[in-house]
Structure 1
Amino acid sequence: MASRVIIPQHDRVEGNGGIKQKNAAEGQGRNRKALNDIGNLVTIRDVEAKVQRPITRSFGAKLLANAQAPGDNKKAVHGVAVGKAVAVPKPPAKRVVLSKPKPVEVIEISPDTEEVKHEKLVPQIEKSAGSKKKKKVPTMTALLTARSKAACGLSNKPKKAAVDIDACDVDDELAVVEYVEDIYMFYKLAENECRPHDYMESQPEINEKMRAILVDWLIEVHNRFDLMPETLYLTINLVDRFLSLKAVPRRELQLVGIGAMLIACKYEEIWAPEVKDFVAISESAYSNDQILKMEKAILGKLEWYITVPTPYVFLSRYIKASVPNNEMEHLVYFLAELALMHYGCITFCPSMVAASAVYVARHTLFKTPVWTETLESYTGFSEAQLIECAKMLVNMHSVAPGHRLQTVFKKYSKPEKCAVAMCSPPKSLLAST
């Protein structure tokens, strides 16, 4: 049986347009039935009415008016018999019609011939477990791409495994393992922006020997002040960049070196030497005002661009990739400082100088293999790319014992440096092509 819904009675209010109903606030608290019973059975003034249409406000007003009329004059309103129960027929259920997908024409290009074939696809309906799937035919684009890669030597060969050198530093916050690869990718991009060009032809009073003497003296000053390694490499970078932008008289060359080291100390050191310390170590060759003016001139000419990737930042990374001991580490730094003194090394980028120093050091200490997959992966250089720079480093190592500039050689001949300067250079590299 249909459930009954009791609709609260409303007072009629006479108005200009007819009958209006009041909002009965007291009816809001009464019990309500389920929504699906609303409209099935209505009781109006003790009169049951089965309806075949929704009870709107106007339709409800007509039903109410007929219910209040005399009993003999009850009549049907819009097909609803007042006073009689009328069965509401259920709406017919809708039938769901499934439309089959239309066959689509597909044009296939055979990889061997250029004939165009037409075939119709079977509708993609679930097949039985025993049905066989059609073999996938490679397209002409995929075939041509594979042939191009094979012709260029870019076929999908298995990559050689490289050791993760940062795995041991995962718990070290200072190692910034999450960002170290991105940092060195940026160094690789930025190193060419801050490289000095060949400037000796633009310097009328300075030659390569004078520059070597200046660098040898700066390395000695660096040792006397016990400064950080980063300070030395940044000092030489500032000197070369300034000399590549401005012609300097011979008498001011040492002043340029002092001004560059003063800037590098302020940038790298916690306790930087004062200006009076540089005056004293240069035996009062220059005054305080001259040093400060040169410092200002260097910064102005370089536009305060001091944050640059020097060979040292690459050395620390590549030495780590080489899994070194103390002897090899000191030997790499010895070769790198020899490269600082040699003017010809400015033609190579800092990362190549660092990688070549590691390569020559491994040759010197008979490490096998000399150049591993890990080193090639982290440096980005193959063995063939390093040969030219490596030969230059071997030559410098060969002549270092008899060279008149002995600061670097004496520094790395001490026992605390494992006396790596006394090692025999790998002259077999000079014969390689």
Structure 2
Amino acid sequence: MATRPVIRPQPLRGDRRALGDIGNIDSLLGVDGGKINRPITRNFRAQLLENAQVAAAANNKDPILDGATKKQEVVRAVQKKARGDKREPSKPIEVIVISPDTNEVAKAKENVSSNEYSSVLDARSKAASKTLDIDYVDKDNDLAAVEYVEDMYTFYKEVENETKPQMYMHTQPEINEKMRSILIDWLVEVHVKFDLSPETLYLTVNIIDRFLSLKTVPRRELQLVGVSALLTASKYEEIWPPQVNDLVYVTDNSYNSKQILVMEKTILGNLEWYLTVPTQYVFLVRFIKASGSDPKVENMVHFLAELGLMHHDSLMFCPSMLAASAVYTARCCLNKSPTWTDTLKFHTGYSESQLMDCSKLLAFIHSKAGESKLRGVFKKYSKLGRGAVALISPAKCLLSSAP
């Protein structure tokens, strides 16, 4: 059987102390000649002191000095406090019973919830007892931000008038409402050609109107303003915006790339680079959701809203009212009953009577779309992929006293 080699300790150099002698080894009288082969902890130290005292008492000897005895008692007290003295009877816990029918218990049940979203829904449902919870299906979708969506739209409605374009045709000596309609109709076709997102179209029109509200533009540069606004909105909204050369091509080389970029810089300078605005599309998404999941209603709403974009008179209304009126007019066209629900009233913030003027304007524009020479929006929504909603007759109930 092999023997284990004995390793002799090396001599210390200089004044360095051995590692085992630095603070973790102590000598106690009466315990193995004053040497302990394990680190001393508070509990273990107190146990050793107690054992030494018991052994000394059995031999009628006092192994510890008076000063050490006091130290021992202090250590023992600390040790008992740390581990708890089981011999001391525990004090009874006073229990206060609250009647379950008190208001405090009811409030506690409402405040304490394992699901934060449920508490938000409870508070919201109390505020609108007759409305449907349109965000319930998105409660597990983090991108929907259902806990904050109501606050977001409250903020949008507060600031929408700050970036709302004003009616400006009286300040433009060389352009008129018809020219603007032609420009928007052409941009709708370009928007379809490049397969851009709806947000881009609404932001493009917003940029055009805000810029024309601030700066006089000659007739020959109106299309340049439109294509430059489309480029700016595409850079803001799209992952892959159109190239400048592509926009030069769709203008039939009426402008070169340098002119488009210079106009883009001019537009951004006049708007102070402020592009984060609540457009009509922001409200359309929310209000369509409140109307219910009906693809035909959704297509009709977008059709009416884009028809409204082409007409200068729609600038007299704020984006949220235009969006709510588009939903109301679409439901009238499709004979939805009831036409305006409590859920729509709650989420839009408008009653049926408040929307009547704007809805009549949209219905009038709808009635003229089929015979208009500007066919961009009409052709877009005449296809089966969009429900062919452009072929549906306008709401007769709104045309009786339309402007």
C-alpha distance 172-32 of structure 1, shift in aligned 2 (>3 A): closer
Cα distance between partner residues in 2 of 1:33 and 1:354: 83
The equivalent of 1:27 in structure 2 is 66
Answer yes or no: is the 8 Å Cα contact 2:167–2:312 preserved in 1.
Answer: no
**Kept in 2: contact 1:160–1:373 (CA 8 A):** no
Q: Conserved in 2, the CA contact under 8 Å of 1:165 and 1:320? A: yes
SS in 2 for 1:244: helix
The structure that is helix-richer by fraction is: 2
The one-letter code sitting in structure 1 at the alignment partner of 2:328 is Y
1:254-290 superposed Cα distances (whole Å, 9 cap, x missing partner): 0000110000000000001111000011010001110
Contact 2:163 2:277 in 1 (8 A): yes
What's the offset of the Cα at 1:29?
2.3
Which of 195, 216, 220 is the matching residue for 1:226? 195
Superposition deviation, residue 431 in structure 1:
3.0
Q: Aligned ranges for residues 350-365 of structure 1 at < 5 Å? A: 350-365=319-334
Q: What is the CA distance between 1:190 and its match in structure 2?
A: 1.4
- Mapped to 2, the partners of 1:324 and 1:403 lie a distance apart of 31
One-letter code aligned to 1:199: Y
What's the offset of the Cα at 1:326?
A: 1.1
Deviation at 1:324, TM superposition (A): 2.9
Which of the two has higher C-alpha Rg?
1
Counterpart Cα distance in 2 of 1:396 and 1:227: 25
Q: Secondary structure at the match of 2:300?
A: helix
Distance change (3 Å), C-alpha of 1:27 and 1:301: same
Equivalent pair of 2:160/2:318 in contact (CA under 8 Å): yes
CA distance, structure 1, for counterparts of residue 206 and residue 310 of structure 2: 12
- Tell me which protein shows more strand as a share of its residues: 1
Q: Which amino acid aligns with 1:415?
A: L
The one-letter code sitting in structure 1 at the alignment partner of 2:380 is K
CA separation in 2, counterparts of 1:212 and 1:169? Answer: 38
SS of 2:367's equivalent in the other structure is helix
Superposed CA offset, 1:237-265 (max 9, x none):
00000000000000000000011000000
Structure-2 residue corresponding to 1:20: none
In the alignment, is the contact (CA less than 8 A) between 2:211 and 2:267 conserved in 1? yes
Quick one: percent identity of the two aligned structures? 58
- In structure 1, what is the Cα distance between the partners aligned to 2:65 and 2:181? 104
Q: Quick one: distance in 2 between partners of 1:213 and 1:298?
A: 20
Deviation, 1:429, is 1.7
What is residue 46 of structure 2 aligned with on the other side? Answer: none
For 1:418 and 1:360, the matched residues in 2 are separated by 17
Match of 1:291 in 2: 260
TM-score for the superposition, normalised by structure 2: 0.69
Q: Does the 8 A contact of 2:167 with 2:316 survive in 1? A: yes
CA contact under 8 A between 1:255 and 1:291: conserved in structure 2?
yes
Structure 2 match to 1:367: 336
Select 1:312's aligned residue among 257, 281, 285: 281
Structure 2: how far apart are the matches of 1:33 and 1:245?
A: 89
Shift of 1:181: 1.1
Match of 1:341 among 277, 298, 310: 310
Tell me how far apart the structure 2 counterparts of residues 432 and 253 of structure 1 sit (CA, whole Å).
Answer: 35
Question: Counterpart amino acid of 1:294?
Answer: M
How has the CA–CA distance of structure 1 residues 163 and 292 changed in structure 2, closer, same or farther, with 3 Å as cutoff? same
1:424 to 376, 393, 400: 393
Q: Which runs of 5+ in 1 are unaligned?
A: 1-24, 36-157
Q: 2: distance between equivalents of 1:31 and 1:306?
A: 79
Q: How many residue pairs align between the two structures?
A: 288
Q: Which residue of the other structure, out of 252, 268, 292, is the alignment partner of 1:323?
A: 292
Structure with more contact order per residue of length (Cα contacts < 8 Å, sep ≥ 6): 2
1:178-193 to structure 2, matched below 5 A, reads 178-193=147-162
**Structure 1 partner of 2:233:** 264
